[in-house]
Homo-oligomer: A and B are copies of this chain.
Amino acid sequence: MMRLSVILICFSTVIFAEEFEYLYSTKYIDVPLDHFNFRSNATFKLRYLINDTYHVQRGPIFFYTGNEGDINQFAQNTGFMYDIASTFNALLVFAEHRYYGTSLPFGNLSYTTPEYLGYLSSAQALADFAYLIDDLQSTYAATSDLKKVPVIAFGGSYGGMLAAYLRMKYPYAVAGAVASSAPIWQFRGLTPCENFNRIVTNVYEALGGVKCKDTIAKSWKIIRSLTETDEGKSNLTKLWNFCTPLKTSDDIDTLVDWLTNIYVNVAMVNYPYPTSFLADLPAYPVRAVCSKINNFDYKNDFGLLQALGEALSVYTNYTGRTTCNDIKVAANIGEKGWDFQSCTDMIMPMCSTSFDMFEDEPWDFDKYSDDCYKKFSVRPRNEQVPLLEYGGKDIKSASDIVFSNGLMDPWSSGGVLSNVSDRISAVIIPDAAHHFDLRGANANDPGSVREARRFHVKRIHKWLNKFYFENLDDPLKYKFYETNRV
């Protein structure tokens, strides 16, 4: 069974609002295909979004380190950067990650073979970002009294990991990093593999009630049992309105992945107002999903599945426009690129046990490796890659990073939850889902999220003051700058 999709930090099913809420223009820069070898000087066009509405000369660059998806969706869901841009006179830049969106080094061939796909790695993406920042410096730092302007990296989820890594590996390129919901410790030996699913389970129990969690927990055996027969497969196809009839046992595995992803995604985006990030969803979607289950007085196994069907429609058909459910699309919810990265430099061991509301699933690296090979003709080199490249828990030599995590976010399992040093801080947001603090301000935001954003602003202010003090030729100019900001 292919369970790669479970470990996605994924955003590809985003449904864009008809009109973009946040504005920017789109640009491209030629970046080297391969920053670390010199076999050729090939380049490709990396896309980035830019907004100079709030920017004044000498102002900082707020730089979003793009994740595994179309950069537009991250720009549309990172309103925090827009909200604080005028306070800091900042230029806003959102850089796309190579191999996602339109930043495809080999166009339509990019995903066809390891030969083409193999240049997809976090290390190359970081080098792209450093390259772009250097280019932006030559455009925006052309004043006689300031050789370069400060750059602050922002990112959420995998993008948050990249923001932190950018500061760790290229500290001269960015003066600080706000890394929201960045699971930099979701790697071998750093975090028990069951923690992620344990948190999902806890979220459902805490926010949706015991019945909701227990119903989901019980459902797997019922689904497996029912679908052992062709008739059962046919009945479930009808009940849950699948576009294609369930036929094989592989289909059932796919169905289980699809369901698992939905439960996880709903927990990740459990925001207190309707959003369109992973899907069109109501406010507090965990509560909405669970209330369907809790309100359904089912008497038997089929009734339980009916209740779940109702609940799933919160995720699959909130708009009422979905005609049928395609488990293959949803089970392969993430970009194929992230699946590849999960097989190479982002190998995040995941498992579930009988304490969770999911099917039992041990972490089996050999099987995982076989699955990777089937899918990409590439095997994980070893599970050590992320530790070798990013150092695991030993990050105390880095500086000027804020790691924020919502405790209702499954990905907090791999997050930095306590201060590492006086220059690497952890912000805990007890009632927040996945990178909630990076979203634009909303009347329904809980106090804890507002508090986290205030912390970010204070920290950014500190980083910028330090930068200007060290880099402006004339200390008086620095004083002027100091009194006029924030």
Contact = CB atoms under 8 A, between A and B. Distances in A.
Given A134-B388, A381-B32, A118 B172 contact: no
A114 B345 contact: no
Contact of A392 (B119, B171, B172): B172
A170 B131 CA distance: 20
Given A134-B384, A381-B32, A171 B391 contact: yes
Interface string A32-56: 1011111111000000000000000
A114 B391 contact: no
Interface size class of A (residues with CB under 8 A): 35 or more
Most buried by B among A39, A169, A384, A394: A39
Interface in A137-178: 169-173
Interface stretch (A120-128, A198-206, A237-245, A306-314): A120-128
A397 interface: yes
Nearest to A170: B391
A387 B138 CA distance: 14
A21 interface: no
A37 B378 CA distance: 12
B172 A119 contact: no
B124 A36 contact: yes
A35 B385 CA distance: 9
Given A171-B391, A384-B134, A391-B171, A40 B118 contact: yes
Contacts of A389: 35, 127
20 contacts: A34-B36, A35-B388, A35-B389, A36-B36, A36-B124, A38-B114, A38-B343, A38-B345, A38-B381, A39-B118, A39-B119, A41-B381, A134-B387, A134-B388, A171-B391, A171-B397, A171-B398, A172-B391, A172-B392, A172-B394
Contact of A121 (B38, B384, B392, B398): B38
A195 to B, nearest CB: 21
A32 B170 CA distance: 23
Interface in A375-406: 378-379, 381, 384, 387-389, 391-392, 394-395, 397-400
Nearest to A114: B39
Contacts of A399: 397
Interface in A211-263: none
Contacts of A115: 39
B36 A344 contact: no
A397 B401 CA distance: 12
A2 interface: no
Given A120-B38, A384-B134, A172 B397 contact: yes
A38 B400 CA distance: 31
A403 B36 CA distance: 25
Most buried by B among A127, A388, A389: A388
Contacts of A391: 170-173
Contacts of A381: 32, 38, 41
Interface in A330-386: 340, 343-345, 378-379, 381, 384
A297 B114 CA distance: 70
Contacts of A344: 38
Query: Shortest 9 CB-CB distances between A and B: which pairs?
Result: A39-B118, A172-B391, A171-B397, A172-B394, A38-B344, A36-B36, A36-B123, A38-B118, A37-B118
A388 B35 CA distance: 10
Most buried by B among A35, A114, A345: A35
Contacts of A120: 38
B394 A119 contact: no
A315 to B, nearest CB: 33
Contacts of A29: none
A127 B391 CA distance: 12
A387 B170 CA distance: 10
Interface string A389-431: 1011011011110000000000000000000000000000000
A130 interface: yes
Contact of A124 (B37, B378, B387, B397): B37
Contacts of A379: 41
Contacts of A114: 38-40
Contacts of A172: 391-392, 394-395, 397
B36 A35 contact: yes
A164 to B, nearest CB: 14
Nearest to A470: B396
